[in-house]
Amino acid sequence: MYRAAVIGLGRMGSTFDDEIQQGGSIFLPYCHAPSYVASPHTELVAGADLHAEQGAIFAQRWGLSAQQIYSDYRDMLAAEQLDFVSICTTARHRAAIMKDAIEAGVKAIWAEKPITLSLAEADDVIDLGARNGVAIAVNCSRRYSPFLSEARRMAQQGELGELLQITAYTECYISHNGSHAIDTMRYLVDGDVDWVFGEMESDEEAAGEEDLRGNGYLAFENGVRGFIRAMPTGAAPWEFDLIGTEGRVRSLANGTDTQYYRWVPGGLRDEGLPARAPFPLPLSIQGTGLSVISDLVKAIETGSDPRCSAEDGRKALEIAVALRESHRQGGRRVDLPVADRSLRILSVEIGGDAVPARVRRLRQKPVVA
């Protein structure tokens, strides 16, 4: 059994699964603590959080004793000799914590997204992780979705023919949930992005470093083209559309529906019709978090890259930064990689991060007496 600990004992570290009422996008257990508890590979042995009340709630819920909870994660890393560490804090400190965890000798890191705020931070972490042979999985969870994994299998085995287009309607800030959207596009297309064109919501937002919404056109090296709409999407919430010469997979309504289309005879001039066929389900579907842990165990034991690696996390960030650069440069295509590594996006999730999100939410919803 690998010894696992969580840093940041709030929503993603502990309670996120409580919010989910329907499977599809994710299956439970999904977030960190419940996954470590349920996995046959791991034992949850510790948690760290600056806020004492967060630690107390976490200990209670996951059956840890008071001394297994640390207010300083560095003390925990030194004391607990961890194999796995989850980084569920605000993204503001993620790079620093990842580096401390790598240097403390952990075998695997399961990090929330975005991987870092700046490209330089991501470069540092990836370099250090590679030197120390630490497996880093970024929690872009759609890589662990049975449906999207199946779509990618269909693409790789030629069932969709030559891939042509990936479209994402994913209302989001381009670093925060944009990490998911951009990573999923790369995952489905199985190619890297050569250049992008982007439009942000306003010139003012594009000029700043705060997280922001925007749209983009992505040119993949394998010839596929991508369109992402991260501006508001109205009646098309979180959708991916993967189009090939022979078939098409659409993941709809935040992953709650997946559709598969392929050609049948017919049509206006007998040129064929794309008809909906049952989407091929895999033989088993496990909790999303358990898939991440199995993937990291494999990475530890065989040296393979995690399915969503730190490199993937960096690329999602770099594409988001490049979309913003395109707008900053007056609307022109921007080639990757981005030369200026100091560029960063202050992921929207770091706003107000001095107070735990749980407490902020309690303040927003005052209880009627």
Binding of residue 235 to another protein (CB under 8 A)? yes
Cβ distance to another protein smaller for residue 266 or 282: 266
Residues 24/254, Cβ–Cβ less than 8 Å: yes
DSSP of 186-216? HHHHTS-EEEEEEEES-HHHHHSSB---EEE
Minimum CB distance to another protein, residue 357 (Å): 15
Q: Give the closest residue to 134 by CA, choosing from 112, 116, 108.
A: 108
Q: Using CB under 8 A, which of 60, 65, 67, 271 touches another protein?
A: 271
**By CB under 8 A, residue 27 contacts another protein:** no
Q: Does position 359 bind another protein by CB under 8 A? A: no
The backbone region for 157, taken as left when phi is positive above 0, alpha when psi lies in -120 to 50, beta otherwise, is alpha
Interface with another protein includes 24 (CB under 8 A)? yes
Instruction: Count CB-CB contacts under 10 A for residue 96.
Output: 15
CB of 61 closer than 8 Å to CB of 20: no
248 in contact with another protein (CB under 8 A): yes
Stretch that binds another protein, among 19-27, 37-45, 78-86, 361-369 (CB under 8 A): 19-27
Q: Would you tell me how many other CB atoms lie within 10 Å of the CB of residue 334?
A: 20
Q: From the list 43, 192, 194, 246, which residue makes contact with another protein (rule: CB under 8 A)?
A: 246
Which is closer to another protein, CB of 132 or CB of 254?
254
Residue 279 binds another protein (CB under 8 A): no
Residues 6+ positions from 126 with CB-CB distance below 8 Å: 136, 310, 311, 314
Amino acid at 64: L
The site for another protein, by CB under 8 A, has a size of: 55
> Interface residues with another protein (CB under 8 A)?
19-22, 24-25, 160-162, 164-165, 167, 169, 195, 197, 199, 215, 217, 219, 225, 227, 229, 231-237, 241, 243-248, 253-256, 261-263, 267-274, 330-333
